Amino acid sequence: MMLSLKREIIKNKTFYRFVPAARDLKLTAHFSKSIEKHLKSSIIANDNLRSYSPFKWGSLMTVDRNKFPVPLQLKGMMKQMNKLSATLYQALMETGPLLKRAMQKPKKFKYKGHANLVTVTDKAAEKKIIRIIKRRFPDHGILAEESAESDDQTHHENQWIIDPIDGTTNFAHGLPMAAISIGFEHKGKMRLGAVYNPFLNELFWAEQDKGAFLNGKRIHVSRTRSLHAALLVTGFPYDRHQRANRYMKVVETFLRNTHGIRRLGSASLDLCYVACGRFDGYWESKLKPWDQAAGYLIAKEAGARCTDFRGGPFGIYQKETLVTNGRIHRAMVKIVSKYL
């Protein structure tokens, strides 16, 4: 069965709509095998394939464009960007099942700080992602959470910024609010980003100047105009025990003046949820670049306004993150800047 499927994959023109970069990669034996392996594991192991697969079930090689991430279909994309997109997509789709399997098993973890966990799965997922990227782009730089402390931190012209599990504490406790976050940075600017929650089958995707998408459908920030009507989200820094009083002043003020505040425990998902209008605003301090690189691009492409706590320019290497739908931004800046 799989041999015939492999021949069909190589011959069928719709495969090139699935991964446009296949032409650039010349369908190397390794690439076709990796796609075959992914399809085989998805078909056999995942009972929910029908609900989220980019393929229509009746014909495996017919692409359902309503469910397939739009950026991979855009005509006129540069060949290099096609190759980047295909690599990113493959890394997400091959790493997602690893997280889903591990979620069902007892987890071994250790502390990197007062409240910062790392699991065996974090490291395994990161190695898998880096291996896929380096196979295609051996000269690209890598900035990844679990290897960041020991690896060269020099900024490269082309750099991938990776968080294998954003929301490790949730993951370690069996909560499905965790995601794989991967961004691509070129000459200091974010060009491509994706955040994938394999537990909820949600893929957020953005390419610079191409818009933001959730499972292939274009997304945009909310239209909420008043802070009193807004639902906000935040995260607590790992050194929160040192600044708890100041941080809680902000929380208290927002609780009195909004619909409410949520705390999901995954910065990349917080940013994506602002991007698709589930939340109206988000603030957090002392994030790392891998926490926010992909989510920042997705939010920005969805129309979000991104600044520091005082309304100044934002960068993924900064320590202050304030992202809103734009309409409540000044009101949030006024409150956050007063205490933090």
Q: 146 catalytic, yes or no?
A: no
Among residues 164, 30, 28, 146, the alpha carbon closest in space to that of 91 is found at 164
- The position carrying tokens 């639902």 is 231
Q: Which is catalytic among the residues 126, 166, 270, 280? A: 166
Residue 219 annotated as lining a ligand binding site: no
Active-site choice (35, 133, 161, 165): 165
Check the annotation: does 166 bind a ligand.
yes
Closest CA to 233 of 173, 177, 313: 177
Query: Of the candidates 323, 236, 329, 232, which has an alpha carbon nearest to the alpha carbon of residue 278?
Result: 232
Check: CB of residue 131 under 8 Å from CB of residue 123.
no
* CA distance to 232, 240, 291, per residue, from 260 (Å): 6, 21, 23
Q: Count Cβ atoms below 10 Å from residue 299 Cβ, excluding itself.
A: 32
| Cα–Cα dist 128/91, whole Å | 8
Sign, CA torsion 30/34/40/45? positive
Of the candidates 146, 185, 284, 291, the residue annotated as catalytic is: 291
Please pick, among 126, 163, 207, 308, the residue that the annotation labels catalytic.
Answer: 163
- Catalytic: 119? no
The residues near 87 (Cβ < 8 Å, ≥ 6 apart) are 21, 132, 133, 136, 137
Identify whether 224 is a catalytic site residue: no
Is 145 annotated as a binding-site member?
A: yes
CA-based max dimension of the chain: 65
Report whether 139 belongs to an annotated binding site: no
Does the active-site annotation cover 270? no
Encoded tokens for 290: 């891998």
Which residue among 119, 168, 234, 307 is the active-site one? 168
CA angle 19, 269, 37 (to 5 degrees): 35
Six-digit token pair at 219?
A: 């997304």
Catalytic residue among 145, 185, 280, 308: 145
Cα distance between residue 36 and residue 6, in whole Å: 6
Contact yes or no for 231/280 (Cβ under 8 A): yes
In terms of Cβ atoms closer than 10 Å to its own Cβ (0-12, 13-18, 19+), residue 13 is exposed
Q: What residues are labeled active site?
A: 145, 163, 165-166, 168, 291
Give the residue ranges of the annotated binding site for Mg(2+): 145, 163, 165-166, 291
For the annotated binding site, the residues are 145, 163, 165-166, 291
